[in-house]
Structure 1
Amino acid sequence: MVAPFALIFMTQWMLLITQLCVGWHCTECMNGSAIENFSCVIYNTSFMNCTWQAGRDAPADTQYFLYWQNSRADNVTECELYIKDENGRNTGCRFRNVSIEIEKAYFVVNGSSKDSLIQFYDEYLQLYTIEKLMPPSDITVDCDEIKNDCIIQWQRPQISHSNIDKCFRYEINMKYKDDPEGNPKYRSIQEGGNSHTFQRSSMRNKYLLKMRAAGSACLVSSAWGEWSAPVEFGNKEIMSSSLWILLVVAFAILLAVTVLILFCKRTKFWKAIFPQIPEPKNAFCELSNTNPELLERKNQSITSEKEEIILVADILK
């Protein structure tokens, strides 16, 4: 007894073979009715889009259907989500959960029309060659303001069939932020790894950095993938680390001196270090602070003494 899944598999294969044989031996099929410009692309790790154009001489009511087989171990399946044009004609297919196998995938697109027989189109594709790589992720830039060196770090693009860093090469591109359309100020291509060190040409400018990846080995597409979103770093108002250190040290010293002075003033330690110097006496101030009656008596005594001296002097004459 044949298992149900085997019957389904055999039925699908028989249907496909019948369609291919009819198309191959179709001497009455209309020339120019097969699809044209068939292409597929894999993106976001596991999504795939295939598109085509209707045959240039295909009848207006022609409808197309896509069947594919990812590997010999997989069943032949029809597209589950067609892309349609304004007339409702199938012109593409969207796939989800696509895995990249070592073997080539097989695609066939046939058509039907009430007016005539339609030629089919088929193609084998190595899926890794049509994968559009995602950009590197988690891109960071850390600069040493003294040495003026910067290090870029990132994570490799995510793909479903490899997790080895050496499978990729990277393009690094940098421009000034205020001149994004100008010539790159720095460009480098690196094989493998997940970090890159460079010396920037200006410390006072802001930069915009972007990266993209391509396959270098393994089963990875050698075509350049998508650019990353720009990463901004640097500052026009930037100050060197040495200057910042000097400012911090000066502020710390000033703060320490202020605290020490306040502490000393609140304790006897300040008086021990800086004893007070007595002020000189002011004779005028002392006189002004004397009792008025005493001053009057002193003046009278001085006056009487003067009068006696005068009388003695007159007698002697």
Structure 2
Amino acid sequence: MFVIVWTFLLVWLMIFHPCLAQDSNRSIEITNVDCIIYNISMLNCMWETNKEVPADSQFIVHFKQDDHAAACHLSIQKKQKEHFKCHFQQLEIKYNELQKINISVNGSNKDYKINTYSKLFNPFSIEKLNPPVNVHLSLSENNIILTWEQPPTEYNISKCCFIYEIMDSNGVRSQKTFKRNESISFTSPRADTSTMAFQVRVNGRSLCRNPGIWSHWSVVYLKQNHIPQYVGPVVASVIITLILVISFFLCIR
């Protein structure tokens, strides 16, 4: 009975006593840490917290891969709970399945304890490739030919290790991969329109590496300088009519 009474009193104090309640609520957890590599050597890391972070808090994001380390500092100017982000520039990232990236996020505040969060990332799985380059459209007699080059990377990788997605003006999508000695091109039936647009984006292929994040779209436009089919008969009719009118007036004179 004695134990039950003391337990009840302790629980009551923790819930209703402001000092004890405040002490039990002075811990902030960092959650949902996620990072993206882009432009080959840049890194964005984002995270959330389980409760509102007070103003004047500081966050530090540590990047470490083998012997290379870097830090990113973030100062909170006003109360905030989500969408925290830190940006790294010009990192020396090694793209290797076995050389993981270690990201740790910790913070400090004079009134709260912000618990450290650590996570390992495969560099390929968080890589957002640059879009394909030198995208070009040309016309053959009956087809549209779309060509491009694979995106620049920090590592040497075969063209067969990429997968491409192509989307035309009508929103029709198709995916394509290429062999080592195959030219990078895509052929589509020629459309009966004066202007066409195609978009191309790229991702890693699981055949060679851990797929990452789809790149942004590369967009290319082509304006056809051809005469629509109905123009020929109309022009011919106008010319014949003019000839007949002129002949009529000449005969009268």
Greater Cα radius of gyration, structure 1 or 2: 1
Task: Give the structure 1 partner of residue 128 of structure 2.
Answer: 132
Task: Give matches, 1:114-133, under 5 Å.
Answer: 114-133=110-129
| CA distance 1:42–1:238, shift in 2 (3 Å) | farther
Task: Give the structure 2 partner of residue 211 of structure 1.
Answer: 200
Q: Equivalents in 2 of 1:127, 1:84: separation in Å? A: 27
User: How far is the alpha carbon of 1:236 from its aligned partner?
Assistant: 6.1
**SS of match in other structure, 2:115:** coil
Cα shift readout 1:231-283 (whole Å, capped 9, x = no counterpart): 1124264479xx9xxxxxxxxxxxxxxxxxxxxxxxxxxxxxxxxxxxxxxxx
Q: Equivalents in 1 of 2:148, 2:86: separation in Å? A: 34
**SS of match in other structure, 2:124:** helix
Q: CA RMSD in A?
A: 3.1
Q: Equivalents in 1 of 2:160, 2:184: separation in Å? A: 12
| CA distance 1:96–1:231, shift in 2 (3 Å) | same
Q: Equivalents in 1 of 2:149, 2:209: separation in Å? A: 19
Task: Give the structure 2 partner of residue 189 of structure 1.
Answer: 175
Greater percentage in strand:
2
Q: Is the 8 A contact 2:26 2:111 kept in 1?
A: no
Q: Is the 8 A contact 2:108 2:114 kept in 1?
A: yes
User: How far is the alpha carbon of 1:59 from its aligned partner?
Assistant: 5.0
User: How far is the alpha carbon of 1:55 from its aligned partner?
Assistant: 4.2
Cα shift readout 1:159-209 (whole Å, capped 9, x = no counterpart): 21233211101111111xxxxxxx33x532111255234242424432111
| CA distance 1:51–1:236, shift in 2 (3 Å) | same
Task: Give the structure 2 partner of residue 141 of structure 1.
Answer: 137
Q: Is the 8 A contact 2:30 2:114 kept in 1?
A: no
| CA distance 1:202–1:115, shift in 2 (3 Å) | closer
**SS of match in other structure, 2:85:** strand
Residue type of the alignment partner of 1:159: T
Residue type of the alignment partner of 2:224: N
| CA distance 1:155–1:33, shift in 2 (3 Å) | same
Alignment partner of 1:165 out of 140, 149, 159: 159
Question: Which protein, 1 or 2, shows the higher relative CO under an 8 Å CA cutoff with sep ≥ 6?
Answer: 2
Q: Equivalents in 1 of 2:79, 2:109: separation in Å? A: 14
| CA distance 1:169–1:29, shift in 2 (3 Å) | farther
Cα shift readout 1:92-135 (whole Å, capped 9, x = no counterpart): 32212232332111111122222243311111111211111211
Alignment partner of 1:87 out of 71, 75, 78: 78
Greater percentage in helix:
1
Q: Equivalents in 2 of 1:127, 1:37: separation in Å? A: 18
Q: Indicate yes or no: 2:196 matched with 1:202.
A: no
Cα shift readout 1:78-101 (whole Å, capped 9, x = no counterpart): 22xx35454398933221223233
| CA distance 1:96–1:222, shift in 2 (3 Å) | closer
Q: Indicate yes or no: 2:23 matched with 1:33.
A: no
Task: Give the structure 2 partner of residue 52 of structure 1.
Answer: 47
Q: Equivalents in 2 of 1:134, 1:29: separation in Å? A: 47
User: How far is the alpha carbon of 1:32 from its aligned partner?
Assistant: 5.1
Q: Equivalents in 1 of 2:59, 2:95: separation in Å? A: 26
Percent of residue pairs bearing the same amino acid type: 27
**SS of match in other structure, 2:33:** strand
* TM-score under structure 2 length normalisation: 0.67
Structure 1: which 5+ residue stretches go unaligned? 1-27, 176-182, 244-317
Q: Indicate yes or no: 2:246 matched with 1:224.
A: no
User: How far is the alpha carbon of 1:67 from its aligned partner?
Assistant: 1.7
